[in-house]
Structure 1
């Protein structure tokens, strides 16, 4: 297991999902309620004939278990992940569904947003000798799944779950999406040259405290002055907090917010002329939220993990085409599933049935993903990838994202965890 600084461990407890948690209202909070264990096991092909497996092609299927939110509070994100996964598997296997002559069979299980449900499903699949598991959009579930991976020495590839602790938690755990520290580094790209002062507006709960800690770690560590305005979670009146932002005379305001009060919060910021005081940045969530910011939509600067129009490359076009042709819509977490498909194929192609060889095949692997050149950092398994800044613009009566800039992968990279 990779050791980590205590402060970074505290960061994780927040299970923060910065990009997804800032829209006014939507059913995709970063909560993890849920209580039913879904059991819908079905199969879909996925494999690659490139690479050299440790064994001759035997034709025996490779069993892969995907535990994700088919139902529960983050089911919309789970759907995006699954659509991306199926597109990624198809792409990485050139449509054959095979790696070195072996069909890849996917069994899906519903975690319903509940860690106990996910662990029960993981234990069941491990008991059936599954050596590869993937999935989940919930940070707390990802941590629990990582523990199962280490205890049972199987490969686990986490999905969109953003908690930083997943990076470097143990040698058997990887991630196919970005993490919260990359969101914060992207926000830092919007600061004026020389740093300046950033003020964090957040709810005074685990989510908000986690985001504040991330800003202090990433941007404060680079010399930026960091202050905060922390709002009680049960607050319904935000005028005074908005005035505190103006009085702080910031160079940038970073908003980390989740839940039903976000609409009132944005309205208060508008009424108190916060947008005239400094640029306001927050995370761009999925497409369902684009119309939810109201009159301030075009005055917010967004950090973005992904939207379909951000990358311009052949792999992203393959993602968009596959998902669209299958009747879906590419969205925030579609690339996390796509990359998981690529990683699964790479692990099987190079590692065969040897989990340690699968780990070796993924560590340090550089490949072309939907967001361009992507690297799995060998030391801690961070997924180094481009990030984006964006604005919302009105188009045919609807709000849509428009790319402002691409933040290169190395500039958005999270601090490196201690070595294994």
Structure 2
């Protein structure tokens, strides 16, 4: 659920933040190790643009950690594909589309054929434009906007999208003939959620209205607008550092007494942010540690913890990006069209179970979750209520 903005010099983004994945050469599994005859292929440079700083830095950090684990897992610990070292160069977008585009242009100008990343939906759209214009592969990160689904042949995603969130929300209650009000930030992420609710729940007979809050505005008047709309259900789509304040305002203004509220369960830092309303909220969920219990998830969590961090909401998005990058290079080399073909229809075991890149529009079809927060050791902890199968929440196909 996620979006916003802020700083870092463009020149520093590509130089001072450059890093390379570890690439020991011993013990490489078939298809990922040294090239035939003992020769190493030319390195494959991959540019990752993400929020190291800014309002979404916490989300960027988990994406980054997951990416490291995903590359390691998909290459069998070698950091190589067919003898070619995967060199990851990082740039901080700070939540600023202009800085992200500057970084992308710099990398593409240096010959990079693969770009990945960003938490911000607005930035993802800009990077998708760069992919189209320059014919490079772009694998978006946690950015949830539905607008990049099928936007062009070069753009993919490694996370879920808003339509999948909304479809999961629609599994809680029958919304036919009901008024659903979307309470969200007035940005690409929030607007995308409004469009998704109209597309999914509106198609099921719901009347959909919205209350959109501009960045930096006092929340109380908007909470009153929400209550005055007399909804049958409220769908909240919110991201970033103001989440706690938003929930407190809704609680203080009595929104929870006005209608049932459905929202996405965010990262671990938000688990205690709902206050007295925690038990009243119906949570849809993309991921939390332990949600799937698959072997791949366990390896991801172990890898992230070994590196001194903890898995969280968007760790799988980074991990899957690593799997997709490796698949693209393994089957497509560095030819963009070949890499695109290698990913279209790609079905694999990800942290959440079986995941599939739909060939027609590059949607990433995956399981979602109904969840609740429960008290555990004096703190709130997530618990799966129901696994919602991937095909039940797959986005409508774009052709």
Q: Is the shorter-chain TM-score for this pair beyond 0.5, marking a shared fold?
A: yes
TM-fit CA distance, 1:332: 0.6
User: Is residue 2:40 matched to residue 1:59?
Assistant: yes
Q: List runs of 5+ in structure 2 lacking aligned partners.
A: none
Partner of 2:345: 364
CA distance in 2, matches of 1:209, 1:355: 32
Q: 2:68 aligns with which of 86, 103, 108?
A: 86
SS class of match (1:273): helix
Partner of 1:262: 246
- RMSD value over aligned CA atoms? 2.5
CA distance in 2, matches of 1:348, 1:174: 15
User: Is residue 2:18 matched to residue 1:34?
Assistant: no
TM-fit CA distance, 1:257: 4.1
> Residues 50, 115 of structure 1: CA spacing in aligned structure 2 closer, same or farther, 3 A cutoff?
farther
- 1:136-166 alpha-carbon deviations (Å, 9 max, x no partner): 1111111111111111111111111111111
> Residues 56, 130 of structure 1: CA spacing in aligned structure 2 closer, same or farther, 3 A cutoff?
farther
User: Is residue 2:146 matched to residue 1:156?
Assistant: no
Partner of 1:105: 87
Matches within 5 A, 1:60-75: 60=41, 61-75=43-57
Normalised TM-score (structure 1): 0.84
TM-fit CA distance, 1:36: 2.6
Partner of 2:301: 320
SS class of match (2:288): coil
- Decide whether the 8 Å contact of 2:71 with 2:323 is kept in 1: yes
TM-fit CA distance, 1:64: 1.2
- 1:150-203 alpha-carbon deviations (Å, 9 max, x no partner): 1111111111111111111111111101111111111001113x8452522415
User: Is residue 2:283 matched to residue 1:302?
Assistant: yes
SS class of match (1:266): helix
Q: List runs of 5+ in structure 1 lacking aligned partners.
A: 1-18, 21-29
Identify the range of structure 1 (150-159 vs 265-274) with the bigger mean alpha-carbon deviation: 265-274
Q: How many residues are matched?
A: 382
Matches within 5 A, 1:126-137: 126-137=108-119
TM-fit CA distance, 1:35: 4.4
> Residues 216, 107 of structure 1: CA spacing in aligned structure 2 closer, same or farther, 3 A cutoff?
same
Identify the range of structure 1 (87-96 vs 111-120) with the bigger mean alpha-carbon deviation: 111-120
CA distance in 1, matches of 2:333, 2:79: 15
CA distance in 1, matches of 2:212, 2:67: 38
TM-fit CA distance, 1:51: 5.4
Greater relative contact order structure (CA < 8 Å, 6+ sep): 1
> Residues 269, 405 of structure 1: CA spacing in aligned structure 2 closer, same or farther, 3 A cutoff?
farther
User: Is residue 2:230 matched to residue 1:253?
Assistant: no
> Residues 51, 191 of structure 1: CA spacing in aligned structure 2 closer, same or farther, 3 A cutoff?
farther
> Residues 109, 209 of structure 1: CA spacing in aligned structure 2 closer, same or farther, 3 A cutoff?
closer
CA distance in 1, matches of 2:21, 2:279: 41
Identify the range of structure 1 (141-150 vs 236-245) with the bigger mean alpha-carbon deviation: 236-245
Partner of 2:196: 214
Normalised TM-score (structure 2): 0.88
Matches within 5 A, 1:4-403: 19-20=1-2, 30-37=3-10, 38=13, 39-45=16-22, 59-60=40-41, 61-192=43-174, 195-203=176-184, 205-206=186-187, 208-221=190-203, 223-228=204-209, 230=211, 233=214, 234=217, 235-237=219-221, 240-241=224-225, 243-244=227-228, 247-248=230-231, 250=232, 252-257=233-238, 259=242, 261-268=245-252, 270=254, 273-274=257-258, 277=259, 279-403=260-384
> Residues 35, 264 of structure 1: CA spacing in aligned structure 2 closer, same or farther, 3 A cutoff?
same
- 1:54-111 alpha-carbon deviations (Å, 9 max, x no partner): x968512211111111112211111100100010011111111111122211111111
